[in-house]
Structure 1
């Protein structure tokens, strides 16, 4: 099997891996780099469990080939340190089983950075790209709104 060595910038660190050209970024993150925060769900871009940031934009890692990520800045949930949305998810009980939570956190974090004054329609639109099968979206929406309003979540 033919493999190529590539270098990826993940969570601020350069990481070299050998990949098949057909390997998705999700596969490489989980299976080769041990970054298991991005979850395999539908594997076709519908559920959002695998959401990461690529150059600051939320992206479903199951839809991107690893080779396409060369030269881009990748952030996974493991790379988010001291961000308010993580605390807000805990304080607002915005998860149940937790499988979808990293994807929602990444998508919400991206929304908050891009639209610090996001309105209800923008929040709902953002959250529609992820699926949770355990809970309603109210608590997740509340977590996002608490960060946007600078509500004390300490």
Structure 2
């Protein structure tokens, strides 16, 4: 007997998307396989590494732990939705580039979404607050120093009036 499919409506990166998914389909799989948004990476599949972090209604969520049917009716922002409307880099992305906050890049989408949400809540973090902001995301390459510097630099860019993803002003 074929598995029952459920209609799910998501507003992803500002665009309403409709998908039919099995009841146990993870949000990460729906984004990657059903919507072809492969920027959301899946590392540990246990919610530990943070590579799959997306924003659901503006809050960081481990998409490998959330069922797609649970996200029905929500606003989801993936790393693909963090740039500027004109295709340019958002301030967190720009800061990562300027501060060399990535090496292999596998963990980067989760860091970018986590930091975007963190800077919305605390647009001017101290050094320790910047470290705490990224504490739930794992990186095997960088040693975190450049990522912390990228948080601080993104904060500076936001203070200068840049946009913080999803078209919102800081």
Smaller-chain TM-score bracket: over 0.9
Contact 2:94 2:154 in 1 (8 A): no
TM-score (norm 2): 0.85
Instruction: State the 1:8 CA deviation.
Output: 1.0
Contact 2:6 2:69 in 1 (8 A): no
TM-score (norm 1): 0.94
Instruction: State the 1:122 CA deviation.
Output: 2.1
Give the alignment partner of residue 134 of structure 1, picking from 141, 161, 164. Answer: 141
Q: List per-residue Cα deviations over 1:109-137 (Å, max 9, x = no partner).
A: 11111111222232111211100011110
State how many pairs are aligned. 152
Q: Which residue of 1 is the match for residue 71 of structure 2?
A: 69
Instruction: State the 1:9 CA deviation.
Output: 1.0
Contact 2:28 2:64 in 1 (8 A): yes
List alignment gaps of at least 5 residues for structure 1.
Answer: none
List alignment gaps of at least 5 residues for structure 2.
Answer: 85-89, 161-170
Moved over 6 A (4+): none
The SS at the match of 2:7 is strand
1:40-119 paired onto structure 2 within 5 Å:
40-82=42-84, 83-119=90-126
The SS at the match of 1:104 is helix
CA distance in 1, matches of 2:154, 2:16: 31
CA distance in 1, matches of 2:97, 2:155: 16
**What is the CA RMSD across the aligned residues, in angstroms?**
1.3
